[in-house]
Amino acid sequence: MFGKNLQKIHMYRYNTRKEYNMKNYFRKMKNEDGAVMVLVAILMVVLLAMTSLAMDMGLAYFQKQRLQNACDAAALAGSQSLPNASTAERYAREYFSQNYNQPCDVNVVITDSNSKIRVTAKTDIATVFGKILGTQSIDITANAAAGKKVKRTVSNTNFKYLLYADEGNLPLGGQWRFYGSVHSNGTVQVSAQDGTGFVEEVSYGTKATFQAELAFPVKNESTGEYINYYLYELKSGKLYIKPATSTDNKNNLYCVASKDQNGKSLADLDAANISYAPLSHFLEEKGDVEIPKELYADCETKISEMKSSFNSKMNDIKNAINDKPNTWKYLNWKGDGNRWNTMQTFYNTSHPLTNRTICIDEDNTYATGGSDVTLDYEFVLNRNGANAGLDYQGGKALTYKQGMVFYCNNPDRSSFTQSYTNCSSLVINSHLYSNTSVKIMASKKSYWPVEYNKYVIDGDVYVDGNLYLQGVKVTGDIYATGNIELDGCVTEGFVAAKKDIKFTNMQTSSSSLAKDINANPLSVYSQNGDILCAPGDSNSFSLAGIMVAPNGDITLQNNIIFYGHIIGKTIGKGSQMTRYMEGHPLTDLPNYEANKDQLMDLNGGSQTIEEDVSYVLVE
């Protein structure tokens, strides 16, 4: 009984405590109702601030775009009136007001020798919700600059640029004289060394820089004599020769018909009656001048003609090898015990036959005969392998009166095929054709230049591969589908390659035409590669016609004299040209009228330049 009562007492206490705790909980909850309201109020303030910021910033962005569009329109409109600064500014302000009619500060500045206009506008936008937070307005600024972009295309010629670089820097270093104009669509770098640079006109796309003494010749048409105008920079009212400056400062550059006027003023020149002119008289900012392929289309025509003759010859030989007609004489040089005797017999006996000969050899062919050999018919060396080699080591003379052809059934055009290393002379008349790479070397460098004619190809050369000639004279035209390297050679015709062309240690020709013009090749053309002219310290490279590398670089070293035009995608790859260079118009060539039919010039008649002018934003 007592236990049951005790249990009831415990249950009563438990229930009473539980009831008390619940009442206390709800009482506390009732006391915290105000805290929630405070939290909501704080969040509402933050939310309102973020909303006002978003709306005011969106409005400012919209106005900023309007302001920028107005500046762009104003700059483009004003640029079309340059270099007239006052008219350009007037049009800029008119177009700005038409595109933005709210109050703002507008500033118009003409820069870069009146070639560029910059428009800057500032205003403030009243806030809508920002005022609640104390921000009354938002400042916005916009600016734009515009200038004229001119793309010029030379449609036909007498093309006036002696040197032309399609892109990059045109570096004029060393000693040089150009009796005409030079141009780069990039920068022309003038840095004459050991004497005065001499150029009739500098034309540039982006800038010209001057680091040395420079003379601009003016020809007296009645006497043919030149009067040199020397470049001076005007600093603090005084003239100073040998300026280190650029066309950014061209308004302060003058050309004076006297070399001894350092420290003088323009008034001093007027008093002494000394002629002068602003540099702009001898300078052209041409922008991009595009040279269409049609100007040097004769190069491709010449290559097509040579290729046609080559393909015809190769097909003829291929059919002869398959059919073995009676009009061909066959020599079967096999790699057996009788091979040497067969070759000895062939080279040591006379050959009165007048038909063509195909020599079939499974290995490289070496001839060691001790007699001079003259073949009165075309000689064809055919191999089943990848290379054709013919090395005559008897120290005697070889003459092929009707030409020579190398024909490989499976040509490897990456390697050279033949090398004449110990002949007293080698003469190939008519032509040299090969469907694989070819190397021909004179046996002794002492042949140069007195006996360079010991190795002569008196006709055209067409090689389907690479061509290397050393100490060889070529009187005809040359083309290779790979690279060409001419070391210590004399060339008297057109030289072209699909890839790179390299001239080293060039010699002077003895032909009457070359004597008249003092020239080696009559035009050089690389379809897709570079051209290097490095004639050596004691030699010179002369050109009559054109040198063109539309897709590559032309590097000119040491002593270069040319009549005509040199046109490259780049010239010098940014490095200064060294030693001496002299350029003349092709028509100034001695005896030009008598020889002009043999010369290759750029196509066309009188020069016209078509301009495509546009006005662009530059900032």
Per the DSSP assignment, residues forming a β-bridge with 215 are 198, 230
**Hey, what are 85's tokens?**
């600064």
pLDDT for the residue numbered 605: 37
pLDDT for the residue numbered 124: 87
* pTM over 0.85, yes/no: no
8 A C-beta contact, residue 456 and residue 427: yes
CA distance 357 to 285: 62
Q: What is the pLDDT of residues 549-594, one digit of tens each?
A: 999 999 988 788 888 899 999 998 745 565 688 899 888 888 888 8
CA distance 339 to 407: 20
pLDDT for the residue numbered 336: 46
8 A C-beta contact, residue 242 and residue 259: no
The DSSP secondary-structure symbol of 505 reads S
8 A C-beta contact, residue 404 and residue 374: no
**Hey, what are 425's tokens?**
């002379």
Q: Tokens 């560029």 label which residue?
A: 116
CA distance 57 to 553: 53
Q: Kindly provide the b/e burial profile for residues 388-397, where b requires at least 16 CB atoms within 10 angstroms of the residue's own CB.
A: bbbebebebb
Neighbours of 588 (CB within 10 A): 12
CA distance 78 to 95: 8
CA distance 559 to 542: 9
CA distance 458 to 12: 134
Looking from the CA of 73 toward its CB, the CA atoms found within 13 Å total: 14
Residue-range domain boundaries for the chain: 33-153, 159-289, 291-584
pLDDT for the residue numbered 576: 55
Q: What is the pLDDT of residues 123-141, one digit of tens each?
A: 988 877 666 667 778 889 9
8 A C-beta contact, residue 229 and residue 235: no
Q: Which amino acid is at 321?
A: I
8 A C-beta contact, residue 602 and residue 296: yes
8 A C-beta contact, residue 524 and residue 550: no
Q: Which residues of the chain have pLDDT under 70?
A: 1-38, 40-52, 129-133, 149-158, 193-196, 323-371, 383-395, 414-422, 443-453, 507-520, 536-539, 574-579, 603-616, 618-619
Per the DSSP assignment, residues forming a β-bridge with 106 are 121
- Which of 403, 405, 469 is closest to 433 using CA atoms? 405
Q: What is the pLDDT of residues 83-108, one digit of tens each?
A: 888 889 999 999 999 899 888 999 99
8 A C-beta contact, residue 69 and residue 99: yes
Helix (H, G, I), strand (E, B) or coil at 146: strand
Backbone angles phi, psi at 338, to 5 degrees: -90, 0
CA distance 5 to 7: 5
Neighbours of 34 (CB within 10 A): 8
Beta strands in 362-480 (DSSP E): 365-367, 373-375, 379-383, 390-392, 397-400, 404-408, 425-434, 438-441, 455-463, 467-470, 473-474, 478-480
pLDDT for the residue numbered 476: 92
**Hey, what are 139's tokens?**
């400042």
